[in-house]
Amino acid sequence: MANKSPLLNVIFQSLNKVTRKLLRDFGEIENLQLSPNSIMEFVSKTENQINISLNEDLYKARPDWAFKSSVNKNEKDKYYWIIDTLNGKINFSHGFPHFAISIAVEYNNEIVTAVIIDPLRDEIYFAEKGKGSFLNDRRIRVSKRNALNSCIFSIHNDITLNSNLNNKKEYEIIKDLVFQNSLVIREFGSSALSFAWLASGKIDCFLSNNLNMNEVACGELLIKEAGGYISNLKSVSPNQVFGEALIAANPVIHREILKKYKLLNNKSK
């Protein structure tokens, strides 16, 4: 994909501007002699400055487009920006080198463009509807592994005290299944990069829980355009359900996990 669309170029330019700020602030984390609360204030300030910069640049480039939040009521034939300013915030605040920024574009309730940037590795994952998924200038695909015991799984657990009890139960069942069947399990702390690594075949399956709209938007298109599947445990697309347990994988592994989940869920009733 040598010739990137004007829209992708707008997003790349906006991201390149803020990643320099993000990397400078990340370099300061280890040198800060502050209390944990003060460090989180520093990180929140960084996040806010990045958000302001992205909003200003994207608005300037597309003044007719809106910025999507969970409270928006979608208008037909209108474009929306969906931004996840600092995915992996806890990692960032501890000086752990694994975090990302993502920007998606939604049109008529469908994600049509997605970009995830890993600033530390200088990697940009992106996809446009019908054009495939890419890492920098290289086309990427999900892995072709077809046996659970040969797969690397990534899990991301954001269960809170206020989480839906049914969601907790679903997640625990599927997590037990993963621990019983997978080759190895990793918890990286950045859902965006787990989505990106799944799309590029670095990992084979991603299990997440309680992700919001901003966290899911980019991963959904990136995985689909890389030949993978992503859904909740009832095979419903994630753009229709947020906060539930999600499974993302190549078609064979996705189907196998849902099959095993249904058997375990029936036995637990």
Q: Buried (b) or exposed (e) across 191-220, using 16+ Cβ within 10 A? A: bbbbbbbbbbbbbbbbbbbbbebbbbbbbb
pLDDT bracket for residue 57 (50, 70, 90): very high
Does position 117 have pLDDT exceeding 70, yes or no?
A: yes
CA dihedral over 12, 14, 20, 26, signed as positive or negative: negative
**Rg, the chain, Cα only:** 18
Count of residues in the chain: 269
Q: Does the pLDDT value for residue 91 go beyond 80?
A: yes
Starting from the edge strand earliest in sequence, which strands make up the sheet with 152-157, in order?
184-186, 152-157, 205-209, 246-249, 229-232
Q: How far apart are CA 62 and CA 66, in angstroms?
A: 9
Q: What is the mean pLDDT of residues 142-164?
A: 77
Q: What angle do CA 48, 52, 55 make, to 5 degrees?
A: 135
**141 pLDDT above the threshold of 70:** yes
* Paired residues of 133 in beta bridges: 127, 140
Query: What pLDDT is recorded for position 162?
Result: 43
Crossing angle, helix 165-181 and helix 251-268, to 10 degrees?
Answer: 120
pLDDT at residue 71, rounded to an integer: 52
Least confident segment among 4-13, 73-82, 167-176: 167-176
- The whole-model pTM stands at 0.90
Lowest model confidence (mean pLDDT) among 26-35, 155-164, 211-220, 233-242: 155-164
In the chain, the percentage of residues whose pLDDT exceeds 70 is: 88
Residue 65: what pLDDT?
A: 95
* Three-state DSSP class for residue 94: coil
List the one residue out of 216, 221, 253, 256 whose CA is nearest residue 238: 216
